[in-house]
């Protein structure tokens, strides 16, 4: 408990409070009158309204499209399932710069839709919503599907034997068990879309602005700290309210679930209905997720006079890029992986400790901390980044120019994922199993190893995968943290896109493709570790 | 109690993941640029800048050979964000020298007392018209760049239409629905172009001009990347995206860059510059107030306006030198455009009115 609290106090609460204080204090007095001033501005009201409704619409749409996917991944076995599971997670970690480019290629002028049906969706809200679904599909599939695959189907079967209809059995047995996971997933998606930044900027054009975009503008571009502080607090309040509701629903539904090994619950689809469902989900994944990714790959290979690997070769040379980088762009991959490993470690340690502490429900204080852990997702990267600047500036903590800030900032975003993924599973472990083991003479460690670990290991790996992936694609915080010239992949991509010329554009696409592959391979490896080592650790 | 053990296990699990992943990395375990941090030793001089700063390794080595100082470069966001971070950390800066304040932001930097006065050696060799702080030498000019309309040569040749030359031309019916520009609120070329129109039509006239541009179908996107790579038909990215806007707000140096990064390199640039639509940007560097290594910072400022750096700069940052006698690379003279009379607006004017100009521009054009 002490470790996560200290971590959050130092690297999150303190910087954010400091930067907000800078904006709201004048001569040492809090100026709360500024709220009225800022919130009565019509442009700000417009931003608030748009932020809210697009987030609600995106969340609804994501759940609608992704829940069938979660079911299919949890309950069906089909060839290529692991690969597909890794692939659907890739979008989640791609930098928005890349996704924006891919979606423009699909929905914009001369894009696929335009050529086939003459439809253009760029600079409409539809492009934003679709991109949000693209990003967050994996959140739902992994959080809900992860638990769903471990629910014992026999419970539902028992209900059927007792005379419940198929739907009634699902509604009374499976749905209540899934509730917390669905709520957690919906909440995450809502948080993400509520605080959406890059997608809105690139696909929406200047006509659309979310709270997050506005906070960035007010802070980084205008240094209008009072306005930024007010907006930050508004976002805080909104996020806090969502989290409170969420905590309440979770508490109402907490029950010990009988978890089983996922390998036993999945089977080949049977009957026309199930095959149709599987086909439908695969088609969705193909159109919504694979197509935008495929466009990137195609553009990375599209060299003048045909197709080839010229852009990939260029990535390895520092000379060709002397104008953009001091090192060959390929080195960005190594940097990214290094940061990601460190960030994952930090996130797992902090998040794992927090989840363990939260499992032993120790009163209201701890529950409050649960919500607190989620706050970094709802606070803009620029606020945290600028907060770092004015707080971590004195020895021994002058970390402003240290490389460790990058993984720290990334871990801040990763921790909530770890907690969210671990918590439902940790809480669902039936304590009596542990007690039974203890009665039979197992030491606490042995009891934990034999009882908890097999049930938790999966969640742990999923959590690690998420933290790792978040770190790989994280762009917001890394941009604001000055560091020696060792760019991460997303930063390198955005730098290449920031230069004119065919080679730069092609290299940006190639690097995005590599980023995609690296993510997919990492996620696949995590999946493999799980299956290879099932049984003993 | 058992929590610590759980951690141990999680760590092992991650370590497993990490070892599996290490395969993707490289085998060299040299420090990834994470040298000693915090206090900059007397032998290191730290340059804080925006993301676009670049210098070749050789030139930085040259500096070390001449002065004994090693340069450490920190980049933090775009020009506006980088400057604002310096303003936030005023008094305990992250480095010794800041590079990348341009004339649109200069007043903000000076009013905040960000820099210590220092008259760089060789400043007498720098063109007088770019020395905007000649009285106090709080900042030293390092480079200039022009924000101008770029046009797609092929489009205008095919249409047998003369490309536009001036701001006035852009509002003519012949060029309807051809121009894409950036959001002046978020993008520096977008702002530069707006300032160019303010300089040309004055406080009273620029809004009318933008009304005309809007009626003439100007498209506004958020950033330069999107405008240039996705919407502009003359760029490599735009060609792939089947872009349909042959006019874009970009830089006078964009055509040479387009040539440099084309494979194979064409004989002539695919894009041209409308030289009557330019706004001049001047970039400055300054010694940060509270710098830990003042002597090193001063040496670096001298070096930035020295011939070696000035001649190395164009191909790294695609800007023009300010020091007399610094040679411009052939690529620039051959494919670039010379802008004789760029528009400018005085820095204090910009500081005073910028917000209001951008606001009224937004409500006119974006909403």
Which residue of chain B is at minimal alpha-carbon distance from A443? B2
What pLDDT does residue B357 have?
Answer: 95
CB A421 within 8 A of CB A147: no
- Who among A202, A398, A506 is closest to B226 (CB)? A202
What pLDDT does residue A319 have?
Answer: 62
Which positions in chain A touch B5 (Cβ < 8 Å)? 445, 448
Pairing of strands A302-303, B70-75: unpaired
What pLDDT does residue A99 have?
Answer: 81
DSSP state of A359: H
CA distance A64 to chain B (A): 31
CA distance B38 to chain A (A): 6
Listed residue (B82, B79, B63) closest to B71, CA to CA? B63
CA distance linking residue B282 with residue B315, whole number of Å: 17
CB contact under 8 A, A326 and B362: no
Q: Over chain B, what is the mean pLDDT?
A: 87
pLDDT tens, position by position, A407-424: 888 898 889 888 877 877
Which positions in chain B touch A403 (Cβ < 8 Å)? 32-34, 37
What pLDDT does residue B215 have?
Answer: 96
- Tokens standing for A182? 């669905």
CB contact under 8 A, B235 and A202: no
CB contact under 8 A, A501 and B95: no
What pLDDT does residue B11 have?
Answer: 42
Average of pLDDT values for B129-146?
A: 94
What pLDDT does residue A529 have?
Answer: 60
CB contact under 8 A, A223 and B316: no
Predicted confidence band at B250 (pLDDT cuts at 50, 70, 90)? very high
Which positions in chain A touch B77 (Cβ < 8 Å)? 220, 479-480
CB B89 within 8 A of CB A393: yes
Mutate which of A400, A482, A500 to test chain B, going by most B C-beta atoms within 10 A?
A500
Which positions in chain B touch A323 (Cβ < 8 Å)? 54, 257, 260, 315-318
Residues 6+ apart with CB under 8 A from B359: none
The answer, for A265 touching chain B at a CB cutoff of 8 Å, is no
Chains A and B form CB pairs within 8 A to the count of: 260
CB contact under 8 A, B222 and A206: yes
Low-confidence ranges of chain A (pLDDT < 70): 108-112, 115, 118-120, 122-123, 205-206, 247, 249-258, 263-264, 318-327, 361-367, 396, 476-477, 479-486, 526-537
The answer, for A222 touching chain B at a CB cutoff of 8 Å, is yes
What pLDDT does residue A118 have?
Answer: 66
Which positions in chain B touch A455 (Cβ < 8 Å)? none
Mutate which of A197, A206, A452, A529 to test chain B, going by most B C-beta atoms within 10 A?
A206
β-sheet bridge partners, residue B115: B288
CB contact under 8 A, B85 and A105: no
**Interfacial A residues in 17-46 facing B (CB < 8 Å):** 22
Sign of CA dihedral B161, B163, B169, B174: positive
What pLDDT does residue A249 have?
Answer: 63
Predicted confidence band at B303 (pLDDT cuts at 50, 70, 90)? very high
Q: How many CA atoms lie within 13 A of B162 on its CB side?
A: 5
CB A183 within 8 A of CB A249: yes
CB contact under 8 A, A338 and B25: yes
Pairing of strands B115-116, B320-321: unpaired
Which positions in chain B touch A207 (Cβ < 8 Å)? 366-367
What pLDDT does residue B165 have?
Answer: 95
Which positions in chain B touch A109 (Cβ < 8 Å)? 241-244
Average of pLDDT values for B261-269?
A: 86
- Who among A338, A340, A501 is closest to B236 (CB)? A501
Helix (H) or strand (E) holding A307: strand A306-307
What pLDDT does residue A165 have?
Answer: 85
Which residue of chain A is at minimal alpha-carbon distance from B239? A502
């Amino acid at each position: 408990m002490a470790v996560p609290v200290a971590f959050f106090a130092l690297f999150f609460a303190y910087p954010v409070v400091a930067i907000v204080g800078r904006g709201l204090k004048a001569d040492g007095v809090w100026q709360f009158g500024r709220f009225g001033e800022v919130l009565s501005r019509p442009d700000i009201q417009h931003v608030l309204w748009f932020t809210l409704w697009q987030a609600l619409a995106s969340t609804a749409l994501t759940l609608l499209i992704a829940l069938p996917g979660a079911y299919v991944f949890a309950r069906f076995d089909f060839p290529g399932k692991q690969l597909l599971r890794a692939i659907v997670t890739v979008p989640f970690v791609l930098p928005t710069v890349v996704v924006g480019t891919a979606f423009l290629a699909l929905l914009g002028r001369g894009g696929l839709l335009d050529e086939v049906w003459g439809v253009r969706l760029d600079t409409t809200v539809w492009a934003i919503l679709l991109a949000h679904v693209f990003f967050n599909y994996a959140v739902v599939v992994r959080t809900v599907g992860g638990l769903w695959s471990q629910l014992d189907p026999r419970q539902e079967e028992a209900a059927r034997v007792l005379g419940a209809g198929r739907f009634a059995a699902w509604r009374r047995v499976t749905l209540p068990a899934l509730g917390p996971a669905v709520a957690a997933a919906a909440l995450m998606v809502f948080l993400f879309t509520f605080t959406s930044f890059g997608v809105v900027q690139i696909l929406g054009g200047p006509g659309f602005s979310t709270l997050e975009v506005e906070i960035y503008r007010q802070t980084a571009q205008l240094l209008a700290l009072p306005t930024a502080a007010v907006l930050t607090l508004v976002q805080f309040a909104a996020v806090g309210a969502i989290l409170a509701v969420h905590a309440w629903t979770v508490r109402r539904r907490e029950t010990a679930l009988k978890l089983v090994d996922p390998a036993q619950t999945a089977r080949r689809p049977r009957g026309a209905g199930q095959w149709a469902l599987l086909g439908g989900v695969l088609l969705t994944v193909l159109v919504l997720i694979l197509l935008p990714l495929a466009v990137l790959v195609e553009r990375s290979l599209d060299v003048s006079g045909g197709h080839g690997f010229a852009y990939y070769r260029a990535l390895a040379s520092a000379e060709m890029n002397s104008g953009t980088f001091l090192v060959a762009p390929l080195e960005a991959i190594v940097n990214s992986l290094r940061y990601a490993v460190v960030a994952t470690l930090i996130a797992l340690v902090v998040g794992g400790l927090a989840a363990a502490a939260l499992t032993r429900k120790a009163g209201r204080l701890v529950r409050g901390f649960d919500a607190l852990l989620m706050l970094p997702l709802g606070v803009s990267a620029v606020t945290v980044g600028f907060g770092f600047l004015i707080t971590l500036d004195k020895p021994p903590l002058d970390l402003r120019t240290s490389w460790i800030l990058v993984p720290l900032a990334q871990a801040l975003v990763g921790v909530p994922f770890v907690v969210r993924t671990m918590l439902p599973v940790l809480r669902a472990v039936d304590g009596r199993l542990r007690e039974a083991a203890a009665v039979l003479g197992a030491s606490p460690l042995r009891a934990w190893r034999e009882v908890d670990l097999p049930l938790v290991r999966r969640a742990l790996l999923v959590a690690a995968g998420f933290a790792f992936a978040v770190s790989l694609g994280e762009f917001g915080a890394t941009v604001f943290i000055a560091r020696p010239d060792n760019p991460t992949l997303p930063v390198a991509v955005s730098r290449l896109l920031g230069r004119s010329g065919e080679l730069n554009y092609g290299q940006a696409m190639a690097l995005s493709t590599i980023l995609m592959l690296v993510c997919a391979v990492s996620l696949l490896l995590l999946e493999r570790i799980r299956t290879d080592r099932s049984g003993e650790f | 109690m058992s929590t610590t053990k759980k951690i141990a296990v999680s760590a092992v699990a991650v370590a497993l993941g990490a070892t599996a992943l290490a395969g993707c990395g490289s085998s060299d375990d040299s420090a990834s640029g994470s040298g000693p941090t915090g206090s900059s030793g007397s032998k290191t001089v730290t340059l804080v800048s925006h993301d676009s700063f670049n210098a070749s390794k050789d030139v930085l080595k040259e500096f070390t050979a001449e002065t004994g100082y090693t340069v450490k470069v920190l980049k933090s966001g775009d020009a506006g964000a980088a400057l604002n971070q310096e303003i936030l950390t005023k008094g305990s800066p992250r480095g010794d020298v800041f590079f990348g304040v341009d004339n649109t932001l200069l007043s903000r930097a000076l009013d905040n007392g960000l820099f210590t006065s220092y008259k760089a050696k060789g400043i007498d060799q720098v063109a007088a018209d770019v020395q905007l702080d000649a009285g106090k030498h709080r900042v030293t000019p390092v480079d200039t760049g022009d924000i101008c309309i770029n046009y797609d040569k092929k489009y205008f040749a095919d249409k047998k239409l003369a490309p536009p030359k001036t701001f006035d031309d852009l509002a003519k019916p012949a060029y309807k629905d051809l121009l894409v520009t950036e959001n002046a609120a978020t993008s520096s070329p977008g702002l530069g172009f707006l300032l160019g129109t303010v300089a040309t039509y004055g406080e009273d006239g620029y809004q009318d001009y933008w009304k005309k541009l809007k009626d003439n179908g100007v498209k506004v996107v958020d950033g330069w990347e999107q405008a240039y790579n996705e919407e502009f038909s003359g760029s490599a990215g735009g060609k792939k995206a089947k872009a349909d806007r042959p006019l874009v707000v970009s830089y006078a140096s964009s055509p040479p860059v387009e040539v440099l990064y084309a494979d194979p390199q064409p004989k002539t640039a695919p894009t041209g510059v409308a030289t009557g639509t330019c706004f001049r940007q001047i970039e400055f560097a300054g010694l940060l107030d509270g710098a830990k290594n003042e002597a090193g910072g001063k040496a670096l400022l001298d070096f930035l306006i020295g011939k070696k750096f000035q001649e190395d700069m164009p191909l790294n940052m695609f800007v023009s030198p300010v020091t007399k006698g610094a040679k411009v690379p052939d690529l620039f003279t051959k494919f670039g455009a010379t802008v004789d009379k760029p528009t400018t607006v005085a820095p204090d004017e910009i500081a005073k009115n910028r917000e209001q100009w951008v606001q009224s521009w937004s409500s006119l054009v974006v909403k």
